[in-house]
Amino acid sequence: MVYALGLIDTGYRYGGKNPEAGLDCSGMVSHVFGQAAGIKLAGSAADIARKGRPVDLNKLLPGDLVFFNTRKKAFSHVGIYIGDGRFVHAPNTNGRVRAESLKHGYFATHLEAARSYLD
């Protein structure tokens, strides 16, 4: 999902659905899928997780969605897997869209599931 990489450094905004105003995690995923794949996704990270096809965490492909438990609540954060153990997301911490590792650090320990909307 090259389109997602183009959003790196976009500002964070709770409830944000477009890059001009700022994006939150589900807004970023919805925007990328709408623009790059013509797939309409809506709602919270949990809403998006409920509708996707489950993916084995050991078989992730670029474009799969990765979900995290970040607030002691299932599916409370979402990002887009870009390959090589990395994902793009819009975290509220540090307030910018960025790429991070799924193998090390905070997100490695909070990863809970993956879903696909791509064929």
Residues marked active site are found at 25, 77, 89
* Rounded Cα–Cα distance for residues 58 and 14 (Å): 31
Our measurement of the distance from residue 52's CA atom to the centroid of its chain's CA atoms, rounded to an integer in Å, reads 13
Instruction: Give bridge partners of residue 22 from the DSSP assignment.
Output: 18
Our measurement of the distance from residue 103's CA atom to the centroid of its chain's CA atoms, rounded to an integer in Å, reads 16
End-to-end CA, the chain:
14
Rounded-to-10 torsion of CA 15, 20, 22, 27? 50
